[in-house]
Amino acid sequence: MILACAAPSFTATPSTGAILFKDDFSSRASGWDHTKYAEGIMDYDAGGYRILVNALQVNFWATPQKDFSDVRIEADAGKLAGPDENRIGLICRFNGEDYYFFILSSDGYSGLGIFSKGEATLLGQTEMQYSEKIKTGAAVNHLRADCNGDTLTFYVNGFKIAEVHDSTLTRGDVGLLAGTFDQPGVDVIFDNFVVIKP
């Protein structure tokens, strides 16, 4: 175990609908990356999936190598260490280059957008928005991203906090994301990942 502090406590949240894929990360052979760079780590750890980002202004994302169109994605995420000004989230319709992202920060902000042609752009907002529904610091947040037709909806802890319409991407992989702003050392653990047919 390489964690510097105790892992957050996760509780599985029941979901309705046909399950297309789920992973509690108890098996290290379930399809996610095992990578370690100077800039960070993406790997299974302590019964969850850990993303550590040591570079500045960088996002790391990991996917289980799937292909879906319309999905509802859910996962629990907790900060292990590093700054509260961070990016923690889910992605959908990753086509090898582009994807939609649904992110929050441990200081209470959220954003929904698209990464396309090497650029991340928020959709429906010009900057990340504060929400009192986001648990701050090292608390665990339950994330849900609905990618259904051209409607993209982001929920945190059961509350809808953003919704936009965009038809740029229609299908692709799903996954997890963590990233930095102006401070390195963003260290996040994810668990209870599930993909449901909406």
CA 146 → CA 33, 102, 111, 161, 177, distances in Å? Answer: 23, 9, 14, 12, 16
Query: In the block, which residue shows the tokens 């990991």?
Result: 62
pTM of the model: 0.91
| Residue 15: predicted pLDDT | 55
Tokens of 132: 């009192």
Give me the pLDDT at residue 190, please. Answer: 98
Place of tokens 């042609």: 117
Question: CA distances (Å), 20 to each of 60, 74, 91, 102, 177, in order?
Answer: 24, 12, 16, 20, 20
In a structure prediction context, what are the per-residue pLDDT tens digits for the chain, which is 198 residues long? 233 334 454 444 445 689 999 999 999 999 999 999 999 999 999 999 999 999 999 999 999 999 999 999 999 999 999 999 999 999 999 999 999 999 999 999 999 999 999 999 999 999 999 999 999 999 999 999 999 999 999 999 999 999 999 999 999 999 999 999 999 999 999 999 999 999
Question: CA-CA distance, 160 to 145, in Å (whole number)?
Answer: 10
Q: Where are the domains of the chain?
A: 19-196
Please report the pLDDT score of residue 12 as a whole number: 47
195 closest CA partner among 23, 11, 7, 78: 23
Going through 11-167 in order, the beta strands assigned E by DSSP cover 19-23, 35-37, 40-45, 48-53, 59-62, 71-81, 86-94, 99-104, 109-116, 119-122, 129-130, 140-148, 151-156, 159-165
The C-alpha atoms of residue 4 and residue 118 are separated, in whole angstroms, by: 33
pLDDT at 7: 45
Please give the pLDDT value at position 17.
Answer: 81
CATH architecture of the domain 19-196 equals Sandwich (2.60)
